[in-house]
Amino acid sequence: MPKLWEESIDEHRRSVRDAITEATWRLAQEHGPLSLTMSQVAGAAGIGRATLYKYFTDIESILVEHHEQHVEGHLRALEDLRVESRPSGARLEAVVDAYASICFHRGRHSSVDIRALVHQGPEIADAERRLHSVFADLIAEAAAEGLVRTDVGPDGLAVYCRRALEAASEASDLDGVAMLARVVLDGLGYSTQAKNGSQVAAARNHRGAH
C-alpha cells in the first residue's frame, strides 16, 4: 500500500476516533455516563454501531481515552512552561496560574460520575508523578535562588501547591482563580520582593539578548 494511502487511512481513523470521544464526553456531561448507550454514541458521532465497536468496546473505555488525551495536553503545557527560558520565579508564577486555570475549567466540564470513571489506572499514577515533578523541580530552582521558603522541602511544597490549587475547581469566576493562585504563591513564601527581582532579572536577560 502506498505511504500516502497509509497516512490518509491513519488520519481518517484518528478523526473518527476523535469524533467518537468528543461526542461521548459531551453526552456524558449532558446526561451522565451511566445512562449512555453505544447506540447513542454512534448516532452522535455520525457512524454505525458496527464501526463504533471497531474502535471501542464500551462507554468507559471511550471516556478514559478522552480524559487521557486532555491530561496529556495539560501536562505538556505545564512541562513547557517549566523549561521556558525565563527566570525561575516567572516560570513558577506561570505554572501556578496555569494549573489553577486547569482545575477551574475541569470543575466545570466533568461531573462526579465521570471523574469516578476516568481517575483510575496506571496512567493516572504516571500523570500524578509528572505533575508533581513539574512543581517540585521548579520550586527547588526557586528555593536555590532564595525566591521561596526553604523550611519545607520542594516535595512537600509541591504537594501543597497541587492540593491547594485544586480548590480552583470550586471558584465562582476567574478572578477567584487568580486570587487563589496569589494565596498559594504567598504560602510558598514567594514575596513581592522576589517577584520584582524576578522581573528585573528577566529585563536584564532581555537587554543582554539584544
Q: Is it true that 1-57 and 59-209 share their CATH fold?
A: no
How far apart are the C-alpha atoms of 104 and 168, rounded to whole Å? Answer: 5
Residue 13 pLDDT > 90, yes or no?
A: no
Domain ranges of the chain: 1-57, 59-209
pLDDT tens digits along 146-201: 999 999 999 999 999 999 999 998 999 999 999 999 999 999 999 655 555 554 44
Considering the domain 1-57 in this protein, what is its CATH number?
Answer: 1.10.10.60
Q: What is the pTM of this model?
A: 0.74
Superfamily of domain 59-209: Tetracycline Repressor, domain 2 (1.10.357.10)
Q: What percent of the chain has pLDDT over 90?
A: 57
DSSP string, 43-61: HHHTS-HHHHHHH-SSHHH
Residue 209: pLDDT band by 50, 70, 90 thresholds? very low
